[in-house]
């Protein structure tokens, strides 16, 4: 053992006593060197791994920030798509209204015949939605140009056209649209020649256009028996064969022969005649095929809903039979529209002779 010793250190106390010594052998030196090498190696590994750890630590913050930004951008994109879809719906409604007005004023068929396609559904490519918006926006501009031009086919003056709503549509509910429906009284399918709007009792009924009152009150004469189911009613002549009818009124505030203006109060919603709830039966008679026939009121009054606009524009009377109540039985006036006077061109003026 002593032969293996390399160094020996002894310590002798000055005051005497037991001395101490420290012997370093070859085996101990090897163990010390191995331990020191392991410590150095571990230290080097820690130092080498430190930059990677720091880089990963900071990189994690960068990735999280990018993910948050991507989520925010995705939500913003979805919000913009929803806004675009809402604008597309509004755009289509305006185009549809423009088509109605173009038909009313007698614009050329190419202005109102072509259907307006529905907006692209959610989830389609953005390019398709942008293309649809561009096409329908251009069509709306074209409709604006057509409607701003004068039209010789206009049935009556613009102030007389019944284009306003007869009641506040925010307080009315359509319970029967123009066309065929099941009668709540007989249970049979019958023709509905107007639109029935349920509204609170006493809700004002307003003239949608200027005109002259042909009838005001209730019907009691036998010859006008077909009109008795309407209860209290008002009939307004707007000129050019355009007539509007308001039925089931609680009260009537105008009289026969009176001239009315748009928004003048004619009466109020009631429950007279054949109706189970307070409601207004609103009807529009229009000159078609040399007769005054009921047409879908929504064609003339944009605020009134239309079940199928394309079908109504193709056939305004919806192919309903001619069993509607005749005006001549109520007011003694023919149901044929007045003949149109041809527009005569102004005589050409000869140019003055040159001196």
Q: Which residue has the higher pLDDT, 18 or 184?
A: 184
Residue 315 domain-assigned (yes or no): yes
Closest by Cα among 321, 330, 304, 300 to 229: 330
CATH, residue 182: 2.70.70.10
Tokens of 102: 């173009």
Residue 137 domain-assigned (yes or no): no
Residue 15 domain-assigned (yes or no): no
Would you state the pLDDT for residue 268? 98
Q: How many CA atoms lie within 13 A of 322 on its CB side?
A: 8
| Model pTM score | 0.72
Kind and range of the H or E element at 258? none
Cα dihedral 60, 63, 67, 68, rounded to 10, equals 60
Q: How many CA atoms lie within 13 A of 239 on its CB side?
A: 14
Q: What is the DSSP letter of 322?
A: S
Would you state the pLDDT for residue 281? 97
Closest by Cα among 247, 294, 244 to 269: 247
pLDDT greater than 90 at residue 295: yes
Would you state the pLDDT for residue 309? 93
Residue 234 domain-assigned (yes or no): yes
List all residues 6 or more positions away from 119 whose beta carbon is below 8 Å from its beta carbon.
85, 88, 89, 91, 92, 129, 132
pLDDT greater than 50 at residue 349: no
Closest by Cα among 30, 18, 32, 19 to 8: 19
Q: What is the total count of domains within the chain?
A: 1
The single residue listed with the structure tokens 């306003």 is 164
- Give me the domain span that covers residue 242: 169-331
């Amino acid at each position: 053992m002593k032969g293996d010793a390399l160094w020996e250190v002894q310590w002798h106390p000055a005051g005497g006593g037991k001395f101490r010594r420290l012997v370093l052998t070859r085996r101990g030196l090897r163990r010390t060197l191995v331990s020191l090498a392991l410590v150095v190696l571990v230290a080097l590994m820690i130092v080498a791994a430190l930059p990677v750890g720091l880089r990963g630590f900071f990189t994690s913050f960068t990735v999280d920030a990018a993910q948050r930004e991507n989520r925010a951008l995705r939500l913003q994109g979805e919000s913009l798509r929803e806004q675009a879809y809402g604008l597309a719906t509004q755009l289509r409604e305006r185009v549809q209204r423009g088509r109605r007005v173009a038909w009313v004023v007698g614009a050329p068929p190419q202005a109102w015949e072509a259907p307006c396609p529905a907006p692209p559904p959610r989830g389609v490519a953005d390019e398709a939605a942008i293309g649809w918006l561009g096409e329908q926006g251009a069509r709306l501009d074209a409709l604006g140009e057509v409607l701003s031009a004068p039209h010789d086919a206009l049935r009556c003056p613009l102030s007389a056209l019944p284009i306003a709503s007869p009641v506040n549509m925010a307080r009315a509910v359509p319970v029967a649209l123009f066309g065929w429906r099941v009668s709540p009284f007989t249970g049979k399918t019958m023709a509905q020649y107007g639109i029935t709007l349920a509204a609170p009792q006493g809700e004002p009924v307003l003239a949608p256009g200027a005109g002259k009152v042909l009838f005001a009150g209730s019907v009691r004469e036998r010859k006008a028996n077909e009109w008795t189911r309407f209860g209290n009613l008002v009939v307004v002549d707007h000129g050019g064969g355009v007539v509007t009818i308001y039925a089931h009124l609680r009260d009537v505030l105008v009289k026969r022969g009176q001239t009315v203006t748009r928004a003048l109060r004619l009466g109020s919603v009631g429950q007279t005649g054949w109706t189970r709830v307070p409601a207004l039966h609103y009807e529009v008679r229009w000159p078609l095929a040399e007769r005054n026939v009921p047409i879908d009121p929504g064609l003339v009054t944009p605020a009134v809903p239309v079940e199928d606009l394309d079908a109504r524009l193709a056939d305004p009377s919806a192919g309903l039979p001619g069993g509607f109540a005749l005006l001549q039985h109520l007011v003694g006036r023919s149901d044929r529209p007045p003949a149109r006077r041809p527009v005569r061109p102004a005589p050409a003026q000869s140019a003055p002779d040159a001196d």
